[in-house]
Amino acid sequence: MPHYIDVILPLPLQETFTYELPLQLGTFPQVGSRVVVPLGNSKVYMGIVVRLHDEEPPYATKQILDIPDEPPVVLPAQLQFWRWVSDYYFCSMGDVYKAALPAGLREKPKVSRRQKTTKGTQDKQLFVMHPLSDVQQQAMDSIQEQWQKHSVCLLHGVTSSGKTEIYIHLMQKAIDEGKQVLFMLPEIVLTTQLTERLRRVFGERLGVYHSRHTDSRRVELYRRMLSDSPCDIIVGVRSSIFLPFQKLGLLIIDEEHETSFKQQDPAPRYHARNAALVLAAQYGAKALLGSATPSLESYYNALNGKYGLVTLKTRFAGMQLPTIEVVDAQEMMRKKMMTGIFTPQLLLHIRHALEQGKQVILFQNRRGYAPVMECRECGWTPRCQQCDVSLTIHRNLSRMVCHYCGAAYDIPAVCPCCNGHELSSHGYGTERIEEQLQRILPEARIARMDLDTTRSQQSYEQILHDFEQGNTDILIGTQMVTKGLDFDNVSLVGILSADQMLSQPDFRSYERAFQLMEQVAGRAGRKGARGHVLLQTRDAGNDIVQQVVTHDYEGMYRQQAQERKLFRYPPFCRIVLVYLKHRNESVVESLATDMSNLMRQVFGDRVLGPDTPPVGRVQRLHIRKLILKIELTASMSAVRQRLLALQAQVLAMKQYRSAQIYYDVDH
């Protein structure tokens, strides 16, 4: 009988902690079981057992306090997966533990409560599955053929080609074979529209794992997955990769190009698509990546034979892709023909669509009223006190808000610098566009969908419902309106400004701009007559704009891949961003210099920087950034070991003790 256990705690510290097993407990935890343990003088944590052994540690150990439930809540396959996440994304097992389990399973128990698991009914008579068209059937056959040779297949299908319907058929086949399915979507695509579509087919065999659900609902689903009647299909967002699958056989990732699959903060800063592919490999499951605009990484892998590739070039039921018309906003400005952000062409098309009883979607990738306010007399602009960034005006809230830290300030009536009375707004957020358009078209029923109007799941659903029912004529929104939505009556999509998307200081900004525009264009003309898209820009000659006009994904890919290769960016290498933070700017400056010198001794010219990021201070911490470019063949755990050693070396210096260093892999 073992006397000791090693336990993971939800802390970013050391890997494991050792405790003694008291004999009088009468029960034994297993690997993956939860245990209640003390830490320090007064803290109590819920830990996960990773090892039972008899090796007495060279220090006094404490005894565990309780075993709330004997059977493991983390399966061996999950622990193996956690190790990979921790190794690859440079974080501790504790960080992974925190991301992986719903809070209710991590909390120190007030009372040791056992949740009832709801058993799924296995009744299957509720089917409303559409038969596939010939083109869809061929695609489905090709996917399965590709799976003979490659465990991962990329489905490159234009918007509204019927990908979702193919997914449904593949899911059905997998569960008929007794396997489990994980169907992953980016947060904002996981609409009720889609869940209902799947629910109608799969009923209770389907479980939905969403961050908008309450924690107790997530605990319940997690428990059900551990039970002897788990869900056959999970539809979920990125954290669903951490559910306890018992016999995962199929992984489908829709909108695989979405950057929101990458978790930014806090650690683990994992890429859910890439991590899910590792998970699938671990289970020997087949994987399908789907997109109308694949990521450069996935397309590169498909072209190089690492993934299979299946293409759907036509829309379902012979619908044509929308026509795209570029409007030169620069010229309209010069001719003084703009009404606010609207060109006369766009207004004409909007009026026309409304006259025909059609609906319109307008896309602007910026929320709030205006991104900048300025004093006409002295040029003062309001800035966040904690971050190096100007504040966004939110008229509806009557506040100025920092989009980095969330701090809100009162809008001044006069300039605090010169007491001037003329404070003007520059630029356009969705709020201002809504206000302007309502003034131009007083009769139109306009709704806005962005982070501010969809704080609750209910308001989000209401906006979609009203649009679907035709109670709204025009839907203005941020990238929330660009994907996943399937409306029948939208004839016109307006892209209000391509320029901000094209000017982001990021090596992915062109790829991303193409994806966003192509996706939002895909909302037009899904049923009925061919859709039309108006694309306003001051940079009409930009290659990306031209590639959107011709729906030329391959052209975009070739051009971007060439540049990435030339300048050594993914998919031709891996990127690790090293962030350094400190309250004092001169400290972080010299820390960054010291760290980069040490890194150069080890990694040579793979190190770039240090640089100050575009927003150089967030929440009072000054930031510096280093870039490390790693060959695709290198071992990430070796890189991690060396970086952590260097980090320990610099943080041991007295002046840097309160500094923070962290890593972002595959940003």
Question: Which residues in this chain contact ligand ADP in the complex, by CB under 6 A?
Answer: 130, 132-133, 136, 157, 159-165, 316, 486
What is residue 22's three-state secondary structure?
A: coil
482 binding partner (options Zn ion, ligand ADP, none; Cβ < 5 to 8 Å by kind): none
Answer yes or no whether residue 373 interacts with Zn ion by CB under 5 A.
no
Integer Cα distance of 239 and 234 in angstroms: 11
Which one, 192 or 438, has the nearer CB to ligand ADP? 192
Member of 44, 126, 348, 418 binding Zn ion (CB under 5 A): 418
Q: Please give the full DSSP string across 58-92, using - where no structure is assigned.
A: SSPPPBP-B-S-SS-SS-HHHHHHHHHHHHHTT--
Contact between 384 and Zn ion per CB under 5 A? yes
- What, of ligand ADP, Zn ion, none, does residue 387 touch, CB below 5 to 8 Å by kind? Zn ion
Amino acid at residue number 242: F
Binding range to Zn ion, per CB under 5 A, among 95-103, 332-340, 395-403, 569-577: 395-403
Q: Which is nearer to ligand ADP, 172 or 390 (CB)?
A: 172
- Whether the Cβ atoms of residue 428 and residue 391 lie closer than 8 Å to each other: no
Alpha-helical regions (H) of 356-451 = 430-440
CB closer to Zn ion, 391 vs 496: 391
Binding mask 289-308 for Zn ion (x = CB under 5 A): --------------------
Q: Which does 418 bind (CB under 5 to 8 A by kind): Zn ion, ligand ADP, none?
A: Zn ion
Partner touching 420 among ligand ADP, Zn ion, none, CB below 5 to 8 Å by kind: Zn ion
CB 502 within 8 A of CB 535: no
Q: Which does 386 bind (CB under 5 to 8 A by kind): ligand ADP, Zn ion, none?
A: Zn ion
Say which DSSP state 217 is in: H
> How far is residue 199's CA from residue 486's CA, in Å, rounded to a whole number?
16
Give 258 or 452: the residue with its C-beta nearer to ligand ADP.
258
Compute the least distance from the CB of residue 254 to ligand ADP, in Å: 7
DSSP for 534-589 reads EEEES-TT-HHHHHHHTT-HHHHHHHHHHHHHHTT-TTSSEEEEEEEEESSHHHHH
- Cis omega (within 30 of 0) for bond into 266: yes
Residue closer to ligand ADP (CB basis): 414 or 529: 529
CA of residue 222 relative to chain centroid, distance:
21
The site partner of 378 among ligand ADP, Zn ion, none (C-beta below 5 to 8 Å per kind) is: Zn ion
> What is the closest distance, in whole angstroms, from the C-beta atom of residue 252 to ligand ADP in the complex?
11
Q: What is the DSSP string of 273-292?
A: HHHHHHHHHHHT-EEEEEES
Whichever of 44 and 418 has its CB closer to Zn ion, that residue is 418
Indicate the residue among 466 and 486 with the shorter CB distance to ligand ADP.
Answer: 486
Shortest Cβ distance from residue 485 to ligand ADP (Å)? Answer: 10
Place of tokens 């389907």: 206
Nearer to ligand ADP, 164 or 647 (CB): 164
Query: Could you say which of Zn ion, ligand ADP, none residue 164 binds, taking C-beta under 5 to 8 angstroms by partner kind?
Result: ligand ADP
Q: 67 vs 533, which CB is nearer to ligand ADP?
A: 533
Residues 153, 79, 29, CA angle at the centre, nearest 5°?
Answer: 150
Least distance (Å) between residue 421 CB and Zn ion: 9
**CB of 316 vs ligand ADP, minimal distance in Å:** 4
Question: Which DSSP letter does residue 620 get?
Answer: T
Taking CB under 5 A as the criterion, the residue among 404, 507, 572, 579 binding Zn ion is 404
Query: Sign (positive/negative) of CA torsion 592, 595, 601, 606?
Result: negative
Give start and end residues of each alpha helix (H) in 39-162.
76-88, 93-100, 103-106, 134-149
Binding residues for Zn ion, per CB under 5 A?
375, 377-378, 380, 384, 386-387, 402, 404-405, 407, 415, 417-418, 420
